[in-house]
Amino acid sequence: MEDSSYKSVNKWIVAATVILPTFIEVMDTSVVNVSLPHIQGSLSAGVDEVTWVLTSYLVSNAIIIPITGWLSSIFGRKNYLLFSLVIFTASSVACGSAPSIEMLILARILQGLGGGGLQPLSQAILLETFPQKEHGLAMAVFGMGVVFAPILGPVVGGWITDNWTWRWVFYINLPIGILAILLTMAFIYDPPYIRRKRISIDYWGLGLLAVGLGCLQIVLDKGEREDWFESSFIVTLSIIAFVCLTTFIIVELRSKNPVVNLKIFKDRSFALGNIIMFTGFFCIFGSIVLLPLYLQKLMGYTAFWAGLVLGPGGIASLLVMPIAGNLMKKGFKAHHLLAVGIILLDVSFFMMSHFNLSADFVSIAIPRIVLGFGMGLFFVPLGAATYANIPKEETGNASGIFNLLRNLGGSFGTATGTTILSQRSQFHQNFLVEHVTPFKPALQHKLYQLSHILGSVHPTYYEMKKGLALIYYEVLRQASMLGFNDAFWVFGVMTLVLVPMAVMMKGAKASSVPQIH
């Protein structure tokens, strides 16, 4: 009965049903960022306290994503999707009405636990609803939500916070959540092979995964602020994360009923796809975080104008994704399109590595548009190629792993990008200041020029100090610019390595992937 109902639902209605909650959940990872100063002032919180509003969500989100397939097998996919939507919606209201920073952090943990399952569930349902030849279209629909939501998040969050209040950043999830719940109840059904079953719970696997991923996410989120391994707090959490996750892999490979079936990595296409996804989003999200910093910190752009520079890239991704899906439907090989997408990403990163302090609006926007085209040709064929040999029974488990590595790639990329920027800026500053000394004739000449520009024919000592301060400020700007160039160059080199991996996916053959019974 369920099966016939499931097949009778239009695939585009199913797609709209699952993409709606996924879009709002992914957007929630970035929508709060711009509201933090308002939250801090409203709830009288310190800087370290208010950043836990972000960290707590990311930690609970990361823990749930990889075990989504396992939870679906116990409770049923539809029931678990409904449960996740209810928890996410209710906790969003709790976030908006939180009277203190402690209650807000607790509500954000619950929100992350509810939202964590929405991404892999949506992807699994889409891959199952669309036939194999239309998996490119399915990934295009999914990618339009996952890729565009984090870009739109800061814009929406900033507008809501400025025009209403930060609490509406969370309240806005209520009508969307209710609509998603009603649509899920009406149009989503469990396929026949998803049967709720009683299995022995892998307590060791669950515990190790929760502690390991929790500690890892905190390290990535707090590392730069704590000066990485100069902090005993970061060192301790890093050791715990390494030990727990290493032990988790050993335990899961030996378990009869693993909470995450890691044996699925025996499929070469799936293994390569996950490596490409992690590394690709490492570079993509790292660059997306650095671009607004470059525009606002060095180029003097307002948040609005920075958004105008970034916006065309998001539009380019939205335009290319459905085209990529249709090209695959017409017979174009996924690995060919993926290789083109990776090359475009690589070109955009190397273009960004040549940014300077004289760059105009168009010179900055063009590499961002190239990046947008690359993202469209990266995400869609990669998703289709990665799942090509995965049995439907393992789609939920595979989707959980795939989405976890995508999120971790973004977290690692953000942490690495900001660290490279900080350290390389300091390196270039140390190098440049060696050439800025009072004994340099060129410096003395420049000081006199500045003093005359400031209106003094015979500069005094204090006017000379003002001129020297202006020169030092310019040195800092140049050092920071070189730091940005270095970070984008690293992303370009890392992306270039992915091209042969994409080609290797061509020869992947269907393998017998062990299933969980």
> Measuring CA to CA, which residue among 148, 130, 255, 273 is closest to residue 205?
255
DSSP code per residue over 208-242: HHHHHHHHHHHHHHHTTTTTGGGSHHHHHHHHHHH
DSSP state of 330: T
In which residue are the tokens 């995508």 written? Answer: 406
Which residues neighbour 133 within 8 Å (Cβ) at sequence distance 6 or greater? 329
Return the exposure string of 276-302: e unless at least 16 CB atoms fall within 10 Å of the residue's CB, then b. bbbbbbbbbbbbbbbbbbbbeebbebe
Phi, psi of 56 (to 5 degrees): -60, -40
| Residue 175: CB atoms within 10 Å | 10
**Amino acid, res. 141:** V
d(Cα 10, Cα 396) in Å, to the nearest integer? 21
d(Cα 319, Cα 299) in Å, to the nearest integer? 29
Q: Could you tell me which CATH number the domain at 266-415+484-508 has?
A: 1.20.1250.20
pLDDT digits (tens, 9 = 90+) for 51-69: 788 778 888 888 888 888 8
CA 297, 416, 157, 107: dihedral to nearest 10 degrees?
A: -140
d(Cα 392, Cα 6) in Å, to the nearest integer? 15
What architecture (CATH level 2) is domain 1-199?
Up-down Bundle (1.20)
Q: 83, 18 in Cβ contact below 8 A? A: no
pLDDT at 442: 66
> Measuring CA to CA, which residue among 303, 341, 325 is closest to residue 134?
325
pLDDT at 352: 93
Computed over every residue of the chain, the mean pLDDT equals: 81
pLDDT digits (tens, 9 = 90+) for 93-133: 999 898 888 898 899 889 988 888 888 888 788 877 887 77
CA 14, 18, 23, 29: dihedral to nearest 10 degrees?
A: -170
> Does 266-415+484-508 match 1-199 at the fold level?
yes
pLDDT digits (tens, 9 = 90+) for 224-258: 778 788 888 889 999 999 999 999 899 888 888 78
> Measuring CA to CA, which residue among 191, 82, 36 is closest to residue 127?
191
d(Cα 202, Cα 207) in Å, to the nearest integer? 9
d(Cα 344, Cα 195) in Å, to the nearest integer? 43
Decide which of 516 and 498 is more confident: 498
Tell me which of 269-273, 344-348, 424-428, 437-441 is least confident: 437-441
257 exposure class (CB count in 10 Å sphere: 0-12, 13-18, 19+) = middle
Half-sphere exposure in the Cβ direction for 123 (13 Å, CA): 33
300: left (phi over 0), alpha (psi -120 to 50) or beta: left
pLDDT digits (tens, 9 = 90+) for 501-515: 888 886 444 444 444
d(Cα 100, Cα 95) in Å, to the nearest integer? 10
Taking residues 267-288, what's their average pLDDT? 89
DSSP state of 389: T
d(Cα 406, Cα 280) in Å, to the nearest integer? 8
How does residue 488 score in pLDDT terms, banded at 50, 70 and 90? very high
Boundaries of every domain in the chain: 1-199, 201-256, 266-415+484-508, 426-482
| Residue 358: CB atoms within 10 Å | 7
Taking residues 141-157, what's their average pLDDT? 72
In which residue are the tokens 């044996």 written? Answer: 263
Distances (CA, A) of 157 to 56, 254, 272, 286: 18, 45, 36, 20
To the nearest 10 degrees (0 to 180), the angle between helices 268-293 and 135-163 is: 30
d(Cα 445, Cα 296) in Å, to the nearest integer? 31
Return the exposure string of 79-91: e unless at least 16 CB atoms fall within 10 Å of the residue's CB, then b. ebbbebbebbbbb
Which residues neighbour 423 within 8 Å (Cβ) at sequence distance 6 or greater? 483
